[in-house]
Amino acid sequence: MNEYPNVYIVRCGETALKGQNKPYFERMLLQRIRSVLKDFNGCQAERLDGLIFVRTPETVKREDLIRRVGHVFGVDSISPAWEIDIQDMGDEEALECVSLAAVEWMDKVAKKGSAVTFKVDAKRADKRFSIQSPQIASIIGGKILRSCKAFKVDVHHPDCLLHTDFRRGFAYIYEEKIAGYGGLPLGTNGKGLVLLSGGIDSPVAAFLMAHRGMLIEAVHFHSFPYTPQRAWEKVKDLTGILTVYCGGIRIHSMNLLPVQEQIAERCPPEQMTLLVRRYMMKIARIIAEENECSMLITGENLGQVASQTAEAIVVTDRAAGMPVMRPLIAMDKVDIIETAKQIGTFETSILPYEDCCSVFLPKHPLTKPKLEDILSSEAKLDEESLIRLVLASVETVTAEPRDEL
Ligand code: ATP
Ligand code: MG
């Protein structure tokens, strides 16, 4: 047997619970896995019995494969395994062959020196294989004990749990179950447009929605020349990091300055932030509809800042005209930061470039706005021409899926 695992068993997470839709979810997951592996020449992935089997040439490094597949939403766990073809063998011969491989596996474990006790777990999905699971485990365990004298059996807390799995003419041996992100395969839950600011929250919001199977497109508002070009670069960097999980992401960036200037000229300063946020929603909705996104996504978080009090969110929401997802709404900031660190966006998010919201920032923003007051201020603005002006500045780029962090 080879040092290298010749197959990776990929378990589908929640997709396994989807009843009649199960084949659909598994097909979508398979498609995603194939797509993240497409530049690894010679990899093959196929679906069998609710599992996905990935075969790779030895040129593909184990860590690279696991990292890529591990980032695919819908993957519950991955086990690097040895696959043994027992199709043409009788049951006794097959068990002998698998036992030999198991002994070889344990020899390698012994060389690492970290394990002293072991247990063999046996599964028999293929009932044509007539020897029952407890018997398989005991026969293989016995062979290991006789050959690898350093090991003892511990059925409760083994240092090494060796799995053997018999299914459809093949046997598999593996030790690890490396956890994936779970969730649902991308593309199984429509497409959403995330309002991506460059801060900590909105990338996490995009990640969480993608984790539930939603494809992501993004919109970013800047206030050039008040906001630096580097702030836009930062948003592109963040989008690049998100592609590791979300695949390619289109990002539409535009200049909101005309809106901000007119609000500053014609409306009370304390309403500034709220009026700007309502315009962001209105414009994002247009972009969403043009790009087949059925909902907006924001990183809003209840009570975090003045524009995110319950009252302010209600007033902002009224401008959207389409469902707005706020996956962070009830999270604590420490947990949002923790997630941002885990997914790799935190360090980029905290780079100190000015955001368009900090331009014209009022000294005393409203925390309990009244919709009537906001609407009467809004009536003083040339909405149609402002929106036209902002949309005329759109620049769209695609962040291509990139390799891992
Ligand atoms: P974040 O950490 O995502 O920047 P925040 O805590 O700074 O959020 P706000 O500035 O009130 O909060 O923004 C709330 C949400 O509005 C953001 O999470 C984002 O979805 C959206 N948003 C804010 N500014 C912009 C922007 N310049 N471009 C696009 N969306 C924005
Ligand atoms: Mg912000």
Domain regions of the chain by residue span: 6-179, 191-399
Ligand nearest to the CA of 300: 1
Atom of ligand 1 at shortest distance to CA of 195? 30
Query: What pLDDT was estimated at residue 85?
Result: 93
**Amino acid letter, residue 401:** P
- What is the layout of strands, in order, in the sheet containing 215-222? 324-325, 295-297, 191-195, 215-222, 249-255, 395-399
The stretch 234-260 carries a mean pLDDT of: 96
249 C-beta closer than 6 A to ligand 1: no
pLDDT band at residue 3 under the 50/70/90 scheme: low
101 C-beta closer than 6 A to ligand 1: no
Phi, psi torsion values for 136, nearest 5 degrees: -60, -50
Atom of ligand 1 at shortest distance to CA of 301? 6
Phi, psi torsion values for 162, nearest 5 degrees: -100, 120
CATH of domain 191-399: 3.40.50.620
Tokens describing residue 10: 């990929």
How far lies 70's CA from each of 37, 88, 133, 199, 214, in Å? Answer: 12, 34, 29, 26, 18
Query: What pLDDT was estimated at residue 223?
Result: 94
CA distance 160 to 157: 9
Three-class DSSP category at 10: strand
Average pLDDT, the chain: 92
pLDDT band at residue 303 under the 50/70/90 scheme: confident
pLDDT score of 366 more than 80? yes
Ligand nearest to the CA of 298: 1
Query: What pLDDT was estimated at residue 243?
Result: 96
The stretch 195-205 carries a mean pLDDT of: 96
Which residue, among 98, 144, 90, has the nearest Cα to 123 in the 3D structure?
A: 98
Query: What pLDDT was estimated at residue 39?
Result: 87
257 C-beta closer than 6 A to ligand 1: no
Ligand nearest to the CA of 235: 1
pLDDT in tens, 350-364: 998 777 767 777 778
Q: Which of 193, 194, 195 to mutate to test the pocket of ligand 1 (most atoms within 8 A of CB)?
A: 195
- Percentage of residues in the chain with pLDDT exceeding 70? 98
The stretch 6-29 carries a mean pLDDT of: 87
Question: Per CATH, the architecture of 6-179 is what?
Answer: 2-Layer Sandwich (3.30)
235 C-beta closer than 6 A to ligand 1: no
* Of 19-23, 66-70, 100-104, 330-334, minimum mean pLDDT range: 19-23
Nearest CA to ligand 1 atom 14: 300
Q: Which of 197, 201, 297 to mutate to test the pocket of ligand 1 (most atoms within 8 A of CB)?
A: 197
Q: Is residue 110 within 8 Å of residue 7, measured between CB atoms?
A: no
The stretch 127-133 carries a mean pLDDT of: 87
Tokens describing residue 286: 């247009």
Query: How many other CB atoms sit within 10 Å of the CB of residue 263?
Result: 25
Identify the residue with better confidence: 366 or 283: 283
Which residue, among 207, 194, 361, 164, has the nearest Cα to 275 in the 3D structure?
A: 361
pLDDT band at residue 367 under the 50/70/90 scheme: confident
pLDDT in tens, 45-67: 999 988 999 999 888 999 999 99
The stretch 330-346 carries a mean pLDDT of: 97
Query: What pLDDT was estimated at residue 7?
Result: 94
pLDDT in tens, 84-98: 999 999 999 999 999
Pairing of strands 191-195, 117-124: unpaired
User: How far does residue 299's CA lie from ligand 2's centre (Å)?
Assistant: 9
pTM for this structure? Answer: 0.93
CA 63 to chain centre: 18
pLDDT in tens, 147-169: 988 899 999 999 999 999 999 88
Q: Which of 194, 202, 390 to mutate to test the pocket of ligand 1 (most atoms within 8 A of CB)?
A: 202
